[in-house]
Structure 1
């Protein structure tokens, strides 16, 4: 299944000027906003005895793994769900369809704050409501760090040339999703979730070009004693 796309261009998503502006974001904003905030939250929790270093070492990685699962599920089951009505198709276009149509628009490669601020507040509030800050505080920090890693890697796969074998493999994985198999390869910050879920695109076999045709070799002159006696 293929999708129409336009390279090295951008388009308009909303007629409303405010919504159009709010849908764009510099790719560095998530890092410089959420990393200091979560570091401050973690220091506040540790210094006030609300959590411990041991719990942080356990629950931050659990939060990172939770984000990996969220990333995969959101991308596969929400971003790529189009529905059948005009409303659901419009939601799909805003959430992800635009990105597939204009994959090189650098201002729409990370989630805008109009989405992430309410969503992170909702998740953080729900975890605080659980009433176990010693575990939930570092768990929330891990989820946010996972999200920032995802956004950073997504931008880099589109706009930076990878220098490592891992980076090249990750970029090839995501570019195949965009330009060859948009119904496969849903992992963005990783490839192992697609292997685990069986949604990875099969590797293309390298096709070796046919050997060029050579002119027939003329018969060689007879050699040896018999020829010498002629």
Structure 2
């Protein structure tokens, strides 16, 4: 991906890194918040759930509107290639299936910093943790859809959903940890849409008088 050896190394990561990096940190942060009284169990249950839901929509929006935005110039197209284009060219590269810390840590610091400025730690602390847990779930599921054979109906359907995005309809199926957001946003499906006129159009075969539907 990069000619520079340092940048190339920073773009690769073992799939276990997000869990090992953010799991102990967020559990410790939540335990500290509960122990010091900065948040409560009730607030944590509510706002961790809201954080998870927020990440689901962040995941969809980032994937659809940033990862698949190529722009018109060489710089924006290079950004697209680094952010997501490489993954579509080499979807089974095991070292580039989860977000590297060089990208996830700045994003976590940005979100955490903004929430810290908002204040109200009883709500924002578990909300931040919920977002991070949502991200960890997303990265784990994304790795699994590429390198794990699902055994459950849910897993098989989710894998088919994501593989269709890679190999059939890259302009659809943007949800990775779920399918329902694509259903909600009308961007789901495994086949490209055809205009109604084209789908209903009829034509006559050369030399035949019968009308045949395509």
TM-score by length of 1: 0.82
Distance across 2 between alignment mates of 1:203 and 1:20: 35
Distance across 2 between alignment mates of 1:62 and 1:180: 33
Indicate the residue corresponding to 1:182 in structure 2.
Answer: 170
Aligned pairs, how many? 192
Max Rg structure: 1
Alignment of 1:48-63 (within 5 A): 48-63=36-51
- Aligned with residue 33 of structure 2, among 39, 45, 49: 45
Indicate the residue corresponding to 1:101 in structure 2.
Answer: 89
Which of structure 1's runs of 4+ aligned residues deviate more than 2 A? none
Partner-residue secondary structure (3-state), 1:172: helix
Alignment of 1:1-230 (within 5 A): 13-202=1-190
Distance across 2 between alignment mates of 1:129 and 1:54: 23
Distance across 1 between alignment mates of 2:106 and 2:179: 28
Distance across 2 between alignment mates of 1:100 and 1:17: 22
TM-score by length of 2: 0.88
Give the number of the structure whose residues are more often helix, by fraction: 2
CA offsets, 1:18-44, max 9 Å, x none? 000000000000011101100000000
Partner-residue secondary structure (3-state), 2:177: coil
Gaps of 5+ in 1: 1-12, 205-230
Cα RMSD for the two superposed structures: 1.0
* Shift, 1:122, TM fit: 1.0
* Shift, 1:131, TM fit: 1.0
CA offsets, 1:112-150, max 9 Å, x none? 100011110111011011011000000000000000000
* Shift, 1:71, TM fit: 0.1
Higher relative contact order structure (alpha carbons within 8 Å, sequence separation ≥ 6):
1
| Stretch deviating more after TM superposition (141-150 or 119-128) | 119-128
Kept after mapping to 1: 8 A contact 2:97/2:143 = yes
